[in-house]
């Protein structure tokens, strides 16, 4: 679906109390959170009496297209030889609106060596389109679509399908890549006059766009040649909006950090674990390990091209194991990734399912969560954790520290890579002199935030032969604007002079900053195109709840498309970009050696009742547990994971 107000998952029932109160904590004392109640497109000029035109103007003082390649400068210290530089003097209109978001442009973008691989491109026009009539999804890979993305290099030029949305009452078109673009690539976004029927019958390039097309630089020339060779246009006269841009480097930092972690001795317990029975089926053991922190003092990781990675500091991370009673050690072990606002103790519920089946469970807190040493207020409320993790601050000073948010994802993954090294050392957890962890039988299971953080871990190491990602997501910025958890907060923190359209156009820029830590960026390397340092392909299962109220479906499916997995029946709702297969499914990746699939959930049992599946109840529901553990058990027993219909397997009484 496309068009403003037509995106699935954008209007959800919020499950977090007190959001407005938290927003007041994040704004300044002068009432800066007051919002403009005017129209979505307030402040945009009408194109006049003739054709619909893109209003891009290099001297216009604001950003009406994205990416904007004029922001690039040469920099030999980066992977691409480029860096983004935002000069406030060139964008006086935009700077006047930014307030505490100014540093996203002046500081966070300056950490990047190119544009996003998941971020939307956008073009703003002088008049509205009939957005319901615009092509979207797979049809945009056709040369006659009239809009889209073209990958110029590496490889032969090819069209890349996009999901189309709009803002500014239909005057801005946003093009989201359906799956991640290649990193360090040459790409172009475009709109042609084929869309004239959707633009009032007349659609043409503005004088500024025409001037830009008549004197292209080498990058733009290559993209224009690609569009011509593909038959998208016969000549540049058919283009009404166009921008050619390079994508940023993505995985090099994580690969370098993972190499440093591998080269170091495996972490050990700081003190011998303290163990005690936890119910009848498991023993809980608590300890900690020393994790290397690779971020600079301001919380941002920096590495020049070719630079050998060195930790900046280290800290002590608590870790908890739940060992099964009555099983034979060493145990197959599940590393659990907890949800937003949770901590390692959230793994106890998983352990209650896992221990009776002979699995050990282990968990450690994410950055800014629980007893992690980076958490500023361990006794604070859940919503204060949300603000801290998402680096949301004072709207008058620094409303959002985007690169710090990116590093909360990456450094947590790097913590877990170090914990993985501890697990690979087959540690004796309970002190009986024998190993308790089977390093050849490691799996990952993450829920919500833990599901988002799983893809980087699963891509950067091949220690885990199976991974289950429950209500996960990709393209993190969509969670912030499309989820009811953040939607109300975003609106409350909108600068007084900014329209809803201004806010919506901000998120492609934010996503550009986040992409090097985004789950979808690493999902693309989960089941195919593996890193050379971690070649073994794991089996991966994703579980999605229809109309998820926290991680919206647009984010769930962004990650699913990044992995390239099919939806395994039952098909509860069609989604673009997915093959649908009937289970049981096995061996559909890596020449039959790995399995990947996505399951949709709409109902679960609550005691004797059948209720709607939600973000919070699907993880430990009967149908959910059947899906996760059948997947893991089949992998452990047969060496090849299976995805089956959990509703049929549990004889679920569908309403």
* Residue indicated by tokens 């793994």: 347
450, part of any domain: yes
20: tokens are 């407005």
Q: Pick the residue with more confidence: 281 or 100? A: 281
Over 60: is that where the pLDDT of 325 sits? yes
Q: Between vectors from CA 309 to CA 308 and to CA 315, what angle results, nearest 5°?
A: 160
Is the same domain home to 353 and 453? yes
Is the same domain home to 219 and 344? no
**pLDDT given at position 97:** 83
**pLDDT given at position 490:** 76
Any bridge partners for residue 360, and if so which? Answer: 333
Is the same domain home to 530 and 559? yes
Instruction: Show which of 219, 246, 273 is a domain's final residue.
Output: 246
Is the same domain home to 423 and 499? yes
- For the stretch 160-217, pLDDT in tens is 999 999 999 999 999 999 999 999 999 999 999 999 999 999 999 999 999 999 999 9
Q: What gap in Å lies between CA 371 and CA 388, rounded to an integer? A: 14
543, part of any domain: yes
**% pLDDT > 90, the chain:** 84
- For the stretch 558-587, pLDDT in tens is 999 999 999 999 999 999 999 999 999 999
Q: What gap in Å lies between CA 585 and CA 583, rounded to an integer? A: 5
CATH number at residue 353: 3.40.50.1820
User: Exposed, middle or buried: residue 614 (CB in 10 Å: 0-12, 13-18, 19+)?
Assistant: buried
* Residue ranges with strand state E in 86-222: 121-124, 147-153, 158-160, 162-167, 172-177, 186-192
**pLDDT given at position 379:** 79
Average pLDDT of span 149-155: 97
Is the same domain home to 94 and 74? yes
Over 60: is that where the pLDDT of 43 sits? no
Average pLDDT of span 104-124: 98
The number of domains in the chain is 2
610, part of any domain: no
* Residue indicated by tokens 């993880």: 619
Lowest mean pLDDT among 31-40, 210-219, 329-338, 375-384: 31-40
Q: What gap in Å lies between CA 421 and CA 115, rounded to an integer? A: 33
Binning pLDDT at 50, 70 and 90, where does residue 12 land?
Answer: very low
**Mean of pLDDT over the chain:** 91
- 499 near 457, Cβ under 8 Å? no
Instruction: Show which of 215, 246, 277 is a domain's final residue.
Output: 246
Is the same domain home to 202 and 159? yes
* Residue ranges with strand state E in 475-536: none
**Sign of the dihedral through C-alpha 176, 177, 180, 186:** negative
Instruction: Show which of 246, 265, 284 is a domain's final residue.
Output: 246
Residues 445, 450, 452, 453, Cα dihedral to 10°: -90
Over 60: is that where the pLDDT of 68 sits? yes
Over 60: is that where the pLDDT of 41 sits? no
Binning pLDDT at 50, 70 and 90, where does residue 494 land?
Answer: confident
Average pLDDT of span 517-535: 98
Q: Which DSSP letter does residue 536 get?
A: P
Q: What gap in Å lies between CA 472 and CA 454, rounded to an integer? A: 9
- For the stretch 285-312, pLDDT in tens is 999 999 999 999 999 999 999 999 999 9
Lowest mean pLDDT among 34-43, 330-339, 438-447: 34-43
**pLDDT given at position 528:** 97
Is the same domain home to 223 and 166? yes
Is the same domain home to 231 and 283? no
User: Exposed, middle or buried: residue 275 (CB in 10 Å: 0-12, 13-18, 19+)?
Assistant: middle
Q: What gap in Å lies between CA 195 and CA 191, rounded to an integer? A: 8
Q: Pick the residue with more confidence: 486 or 283? A: 283
631, part of any domain: no
- For the stretch 542-562, pLDDT in tens is 999 999 999 999 999 999 999
Binning pLDDT at 50, 70 and 90, where does residue 408 land?
Answer: very high
Is the same domain home to 464 and 584? yes
499, part of any domain: yes
**% pLDDT > 70, the chain:** 93
Q: Which DSSP letter does residue 105 get?
A: I
**pLDDT given at position 24:** 33
- For the stretch 54-64, pLDDT in tens is 999 998 889 99
Is the same domain home to 259 and 202? no
Over 80: is that where the pLDDT of 7 sits? no
- 344 near 299, Cβ under 8 Å? no
Q: What gap in Å lies between CA 540 and CA 524, rounded to an integer? A: 12
Binning pLDDT at 50, 70 and 90, where does residue 532 land?
Answer: very high
Residue 141 sits in which domain range? 38-246
Q: Which of 609, 651, 578 is nearest to 600 (CA)?
A: 578
Over 60: is that where the pLDDT of 263 sits? yes
- 462 near 258, Cβ under 8 Å? no
64, part of any domain: yes
Q: What gap in Å lies between CA 139 and CA 145, rounded to an integer? A: 6
Q: Which strands sit side by side in the sheet containing 65-66, from one edge to the other?
A: 65-66, 121-124, 172-177, 162-167
**pLDDT given at position 489:** 74
**pLDDT given at position 576:** 97
Is the same domain home to 227 and 325? no
Over 70: is that where the pLDDT of 653 sits? yes
Question: The pTM is what?
Answer: 0.93
Is the same domain home to 101 and 229? yes
Distances (CA, A) of 64 to 87, 172, 359, 431: 16, 8, 54, 63
Average pLDDT of span 22-43: 39
Average pLDDT of span 214-222: 97
310, part of any domain: yes
Binning pLDDT at 50, 70 and 90, where does residue 527 land?
Answer: very high
22, part of any domain: no
């Amino acid at each position: 679906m496309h068009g403003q107000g037509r995106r699935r998952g954008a209007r959800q029932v919020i499950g977090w109390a007190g959001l407005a109160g938290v927003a007041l904590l994040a704004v300044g004392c002068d009432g800066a959170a007051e919002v403009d109640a005017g129209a979505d497109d307030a402040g945009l000029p009408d194109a006049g009496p003739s054709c619909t035109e893109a209003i891009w103007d290099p001297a216009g003082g604001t950003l009406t297209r994205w990416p904007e390649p004029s922001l690039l400068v040469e920099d030999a210290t980066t992977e691409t030889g480029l860096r983004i530089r935002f000069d406030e003097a060139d964008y006086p209109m935009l700077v006047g609106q930014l307030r505490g978001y100014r540093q996203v442009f002046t500081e966070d973008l300056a950490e990047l060596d190119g544009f996003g691989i998941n971020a939307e491109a956008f073009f703003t026009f002088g008049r509205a389109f009939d957005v319901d009539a615009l092509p979207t999804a797979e049809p945009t890979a056709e040369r006659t679509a009239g809009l889209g993305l073209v990958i110029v290099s590496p490889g032969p030029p090819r069209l890349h399908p996009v999901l189309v949305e709009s803002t500014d009452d239909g005057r801005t078109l946003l093009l989201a890549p359906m799956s991640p673009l290649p990193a360090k690539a040459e790409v172009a976004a475009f709109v042609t006059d084929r869309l004239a029927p959707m633009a009032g019958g007349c659609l043409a390039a503005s004088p500024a766009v025409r001037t830009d097309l008549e004197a292209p630089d080498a990058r733009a020339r290559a993209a224009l040649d690609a569009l011509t060779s593909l038959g998208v246009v016969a000549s540049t006269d058919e283009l009404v909006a166009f921008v050619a841009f390079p994508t940023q480097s993505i995985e090099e930092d994580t690969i370098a950090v993972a190499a440093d972690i591998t080269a170091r001795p495996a972490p050990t317990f700081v003190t011998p674990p303290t163990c005690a029975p936890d119910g009848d089926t498991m023993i809980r053991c608590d300890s900690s390990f020393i994790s290397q922190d690779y971020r600079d003092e301001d919380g941002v990781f920096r590495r020049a091209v070719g630079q050998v990675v060195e930790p900046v500091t280290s800290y002590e991370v608590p870790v908890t194991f739940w060992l099964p009673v009555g099983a034979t050690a060493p145990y197959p072990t599940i590393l659990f990734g907890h949800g937003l606002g949770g901590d390692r103790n959230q793994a106890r519920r998983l352990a209650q399912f896992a221990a009776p089946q002979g699995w050990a469970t282990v968990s450690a807190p994410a950055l800014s969560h629980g007893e992690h040493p980076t958490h500023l207020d361990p006794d604070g409320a859940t919503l204060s954790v949300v603000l801290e993790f998402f680096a949301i601050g004072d709207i008058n000073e620094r409303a959002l520290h985007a690169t710090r948010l990116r590093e909360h994802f990456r450094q947590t993954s790097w913590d877990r890579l170090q914990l993985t090294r501890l697990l690979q050392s087959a540690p004796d957890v309970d002190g009986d002199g024998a190993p308790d962890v089977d390093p050849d039988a490691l799996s990952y299971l993450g829920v919500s935030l833990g599901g988002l953080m799983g893809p980087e871990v699963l891509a950067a190491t091949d220690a885990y032969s199976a991974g289950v990602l429950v209500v996960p997501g990709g393209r993190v910025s969509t969670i912030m604007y499309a989820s009811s958890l953040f939607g109300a907060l975003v609106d409350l923190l909108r600068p007084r002079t900014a329209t809803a359209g201004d806010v919506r156009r901000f998120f492609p820029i934010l996503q550009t900053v986040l992409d090097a830590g985004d789950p979808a960026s690493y999902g693309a390397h989960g089941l195919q195109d593996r890193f050379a340092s971690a070649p073994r392909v794991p089996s991966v299962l994703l579980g999605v709840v229809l109309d998820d109220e926290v991680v919206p479906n647009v984010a769930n499916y962004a990650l699913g498309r990044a992995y390239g997995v099919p939806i395994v029946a039952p098909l509860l709702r069609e989604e673009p970009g997915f093959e649908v297969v009937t289970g049981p499914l096995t061996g559909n990746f890596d020449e039959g050696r790995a399995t990947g699939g996505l399951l949709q959930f709409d109902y679960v049992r609550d005691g004797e009742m059948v209720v709607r599946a939600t973000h919070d109840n699907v993880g430990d529901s009967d149908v959910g547990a059947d899906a996760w553990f059948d997947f893991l058990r089949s992998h452990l027993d047969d060496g090849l994971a299976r995805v089956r219909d959990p509703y049929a397997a549990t004889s679920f009484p569908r309403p």
